[in-house]
């Protein structure tokens, strides 16, 4: 795999050490330094989704806001190419209806489909919903 789409669940696992799949995410991101490097791509909504997840940690789990802000700054510096969401939403709407998922998740699926690469996610319900689909969806824990 030389290119993959990563979703917010993977990125949050990379920055929040207490996440159950943090080691798996660190291992995946270490491949950015491979020769040739793994390329990662995501819809531009990735940043907002990650910021929202970090806000939830602060609001509901008592995480430190300063630490959450530092995590967000780190996320913004990651070597993840972004695709503009407006280029994905029409197909995402179709995919959401077909696979019973929300349009946010379907944007990642649409990007994986158009790029011809797998979507890597830590979201097991998403993996189950897309089982048997033509789009390759790989669970982070199985890499």
pLDDT in tens, the chain (143 residues): 899 999 999 999 999 988 789 999 999 999 998 889 999 999 999 999 999 999 999 999 999 999 999 999 999 999 999 999 999 999 999 999 999 999 999 999 999 999 999 999 999 999 999 998 999 999 999 98
Residue in this structure with the two tokens 């510096």, named with its chain if needed: 77
Angstrom distance (rounded) from CA 93 to CA 39: 26
E-strand ranges in 1-143 read 3-6, 39-43, 80-83, 119-121, 137-139
- CATH code reported for the domain at 3-142: 3.40.50.1010
Extents of the domains making up the chain: 3-142
How far apart are alpha carbons 37 and 48 in whole angstroms? Answer: 26
Q: Read off the pTM.
A: 0.95
Structural contact between residues 74 and 47, judged by C-beta atoms closer than 8 angstroms: no
């Amino acid at each position: 795999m030389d290119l993959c789409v990563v979703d917010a669940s993977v990125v949050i696992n990379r920055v929040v050490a207490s996440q159950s799949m943090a080691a798996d995410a660190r291992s995946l991101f270490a491949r950015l330094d491979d020769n040739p490097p793994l390329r990662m791509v995501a819809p531009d909504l990735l940043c907002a989704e990650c910021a929202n997840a970090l806000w939830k940690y602060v609001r509901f789990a008592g995480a430190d806001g300063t630490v959450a802000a530092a995590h967000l700054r780190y996320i913004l510096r990651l070597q993840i190419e972004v695709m503009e969401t407006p280029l994905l939403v029409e197909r995402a709407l179709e995919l959401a209806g077909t696979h019973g998922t929300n349009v946010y998740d379907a944007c990642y699926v649409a990007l994986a489909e158009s790029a011809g690469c797998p979507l890597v996610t830590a979201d097991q319900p998403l993996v189950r919903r897309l089982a048997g689909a033509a789009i390759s969806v790989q669970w982070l824990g199985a890499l």
